[in-house]
């Protein structure tokens, strides 16, 4: 199943793919995984769930609804808008200077799109367990996943942030984390984060974030040996989904 939806909050049209397991529905409904960068990762995550849930007793990956949230042909630049937080000032790494032309800082509107426009459609049209909604993001999508956790931790049951771009805007996510930790002493939400062993500083950033947040919530961190930023998701996703199901 797929459809397009134009958001009143972001003024952008997203391509949505939905996979529903062809098995008996649990009494409380299926868990649902919202997959950011759905144009890249929806089919991959869907096939992991479809194949591994056949023998869930061994794989610990259970049938779930998968919702891919995809961008259009302008995906590369639009991601920087939708997935990054609003800020008064931005400091760019050297390689990105002059590349954005102000096209960033739309995370609050993108979050409203997910929460107020997309989720109600999925919940109304599919057998969803609203208490088991999961958010997955890689790279800038991983940055947004953490930002969403910090701003609305109850919006998802579990969060998966793989190789999150914590470096963005001089590591501002650590400032969000400090405010988050000052506000909460214990949370039921859970976080899986990880990175490829070849990602250098991104490994350190993700590990530091997981360690800090472990003070108030259940976290898991994993380094995939010999993997880089482009190869890490296929290597790590089964492990992440096992965490989601436990």
Res 75: pLDDT: 87
At residue 66, the 3 state secondary structure works out as strand
Residue 139 bears catalytic tag: yes
How high is the mean pLDDT of the chain?
A: 94
Q: Which of 7, 31, 139, 165 is catalytic?
A: 139
Catalytic, out of 133, 172, 199, 227:
199
Closest CA relative to residue 238, chosen from 217, 225, 222: 222
Which position among 115, 117, 229, 238 bears the catalytic label?
229
The CA radius of gyration of the chain, in Å to the nearest whole number, is 17
Residues of the chain with pLDDT under 50: none
* Domain 2-245 class in CATH: alpha beta
Q: Report the predicted TM-score, pTM, of the whole model to 2 decimal places.
A: 0.95
pLDDT of residue 246: 72
**Residue extents of the structural domains in the chain:** 2-245
- Asked if residues 72 and 13 have their Cβ atoms less than 8 Å apart, the reply is yes
Tell me how far apart the alpha carbons of residues 78 and 200 are, in angstroms, rounded to a whole number. Answer: 26
pLDDT of residue 95: 65
- Answer yes or no: 155 catalytic: no
Check residue 30 and give its pLDDT: 95
Predicted local distance difference test score (pLDDT) of residue 164: 98
Query: Active-site residue 229, yes or no?
Result: yes
Q: Which pLDDT score, from 0 to 100, does residue 96 have?
A: 64
Count of other CB atoms within 10 angstroms of residue 29: 16
Helix runs in the chain, H state only = 38-52, 56-59, 75-82, 107-112, 119-125, 140-151, 168-183, 201-213, 232-245
């Amino acid at each position: 199943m797929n459809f397009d939806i134009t958001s009143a909050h972001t003024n952008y049209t997203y391509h949505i793919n939905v996979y529903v397991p062809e098995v008996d529905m649990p009494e409380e409904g299926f868990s649902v995984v919202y997959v950011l960068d759905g144009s890249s990762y929806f089919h991959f995550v869907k096939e992991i769930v479809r194949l591994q849930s056949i023998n869930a007793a061994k794989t610990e990956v259970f049938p779930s609804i998968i919702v891919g949230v995809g961008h259009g042909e302008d995906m590369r630049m639009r991601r920087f808008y939708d997935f990054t937080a609003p800020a008064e000032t931005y400091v760019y790494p050297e390689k990105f200077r002059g590349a954005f032309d102000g096209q960033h800082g739309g995370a609050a509107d993108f979050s409203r799109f997910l929460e107020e426009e997309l989720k109600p459609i999925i919940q109304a049209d599919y057998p969803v367990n609203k208490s088991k909604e999961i958010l997955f993001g890689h790279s800038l999508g991983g940055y947004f996943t953490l930002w969403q956790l910090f701003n609305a931790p109850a919006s998802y049951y579990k969060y998966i942030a793989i190789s999150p771009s914590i470096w963005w805007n001089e590591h501002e996510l650590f400032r969000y984390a400090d405010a988050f930790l000052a506000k909460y002493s214990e949370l039921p939400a859970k976080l899986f984060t990880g990175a490829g062993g070849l990602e250098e500083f991104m490994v350190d950033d993700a590990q530091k974030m997981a360690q800090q947040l472990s003070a108030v919530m259940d976290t898991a961190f994993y380094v995939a040996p010999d993997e880089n930023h482009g190869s890490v998701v296929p290597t790590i996703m089964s492990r992440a989904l096992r965490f989601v199901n436990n």
